[in-house]
Amino acid sequence: MRRDTFLKSLAALAAAGALPDAWAQAGANLRMLIPANPGGGWDATGRALGKALLDAKQAATVTYDNKGGAAGALGLAPFLSSAKGDPNQLMVMGAVMLGGLITSKSPLNLMQATPLARLTTEYNVFVLPANSPLKTMADVVAQLKKDPGSVKWGGGSRGATEHIAAAMIAREVGVDPAKINYVAFRGGGEATAAILGGNVTVGGSGLSEFAEYINTGKMKAIACTAPQTLAGIPTLKAQGINVEIGNWRGVFGGPGITPAQHKGLIDALVATTKSASWQEALKKNDWTPAVLTGDEFGKFVEAEFASLRAIMHKAGMV
């Protein structure tokens, strides 16, 4: 069969619904919403995933759309409407979005979108500017107890895991969590600039965002929220503060996609996580792989909503 005749036949079959949606997905022109400003963890995750999708030949092209603000809610709102029934639109999200929706009491329903896959877990690191008079987490705690408002915690949006961790630290050391002075930034780039400029007392984010500055001595790492030491950084628990919290990231599809489209996207993502490109991204960014897909991922998100809401109420954040 001539090539042009073959392609016309495939097009006719696809139009008639004779080809599975998953077949079309491999050659899709994907549009990826990153509901955060450039320079942060979601941005890094989205762009690394896009590159891996291309390298794994699970997409023909990938375009990116950054819409930062309100812990992802500013991007979620248009995604729920524009991506309806469209299998070629994806949204990167994670624990931060859940926390933001809880603190803002947003009317948006994330579960209207389609859960596809959890990809990674990353633990937070707390750092001090290099020229800070404080040197350790014990120094931060001492200052916090003396004058809670004088300690400016810099990090992502309200409800981000570093915000929740700061409130939990306050509670654990006997300080009213409602009195913490948390400065929220729309993206990791803004938070990093504020820390480097000494505009906040202590900063929190993923290790991948701070590693360069820690290694060059521009920031001093004083604690991590992991269950064990992370890149030589001591845990909060090892310093007598019973706080452990992870920042997971995942991907949602548009509302109302078909079961076949849902499966096609999950298959494409699973294949991508096995690619050399994605494995390289995991290593480069110190991300812990945590793949969970489909309905199981959906159940996980709903359980996380309930768990985070309980933690945030207990910490006085809501």
Q: What is the pLDDT along the chain (318 residues), one digit of tens a residue?
A: 444 444 444 444 344 333 334 434 445 899 999 998 887 788 999 999 999 999 999 999 999 999 988 888 899 999 999 999 999 999 999 998 998 899 888 999 999 999 999 999 989 999 999 999 999 999 999 999 999 999 999 998 888 899 999 999 999 999 999 899 999 987 677 889 999 999 999 999 988 889 999 999 999 999 999 999 999 999 999 999 999 998 899 999 999 999 999 999 999 999 999 999 999 999 988 888 999 999 999 999 999 999 889 888 877 777
Residue with token string 């079959």: 13
- Please give the pLDDT value at position 27: 55
Per the CB < 8 A criterion, the answer to whether 33 and 89 are in contact is: yes
* Whole-angstrom distance, CA of residue 214 vs CA of residue 304: 31
285 in the same domain as 204: no
First to last CA, the chain: 65
Boundary (domain end) residue, out of 189, 208, 239: 239
152 in the same domain as 111: no
List the structure tokens of 55.
């390298």
Nearest-CA neighbor of 72 among 91, 49, 45?
Answer: 91
Number of H helices, E strands in the chain: 12, 10
For residue 22, is it within any domain?
A: no
Nearest-CA neighbor of 222 among 198, 244, 203?
Answer: 203
228 in the same domain as 127: yes
198 in the same domain as 148: yes
The letter for the amino acid at 63 is T
Q: What is the CATH classification number for the domain harbouring 93? A: 3.40.190.150
- Please give the pLDDT value at position 103: 85
- Please give the pLDDT value at position 187: 65
For residue 7, is it within any domain?
A: no
| pTM over cut 0.85 | no
For residue 211, is it within any domain?
A: yes
For residue 194, is it within any domain?
A: yes
For residue 11, is it within any domain?
A: no
For residue 2, is it within any domain?
A: no
Report the alpha-carbon angle 71-126-217, nearest 5: 120
C-alpha dihedral sign at 262, 100, 151, 43: positive
Residue with token string 């409800």: 159
Domain that holds residue 86: 27-120+249-314
298 in the same domain as 199: no
202 in the same domain as 113: no
- Please give the pLDDT value at position 15: 41
Boundary (domain end) residue, out of 212, 239, 266: 239
For residue 112, is it within any domain?
A: yes
Boundary (domain end) residue, out of 187, 218, 239: 239
Instruction: Give the number of domains in the chain.
Output: 2
159 in the same domain as 62: no
Tens-digit pLDDT profile for residues 80-113: 999 999 999 999 999 989 988 998 889 999 999 9
Per the CB < 8 A criterion, the answer to whether 127 and 220 are in contact is: yes
DSSP 233: B
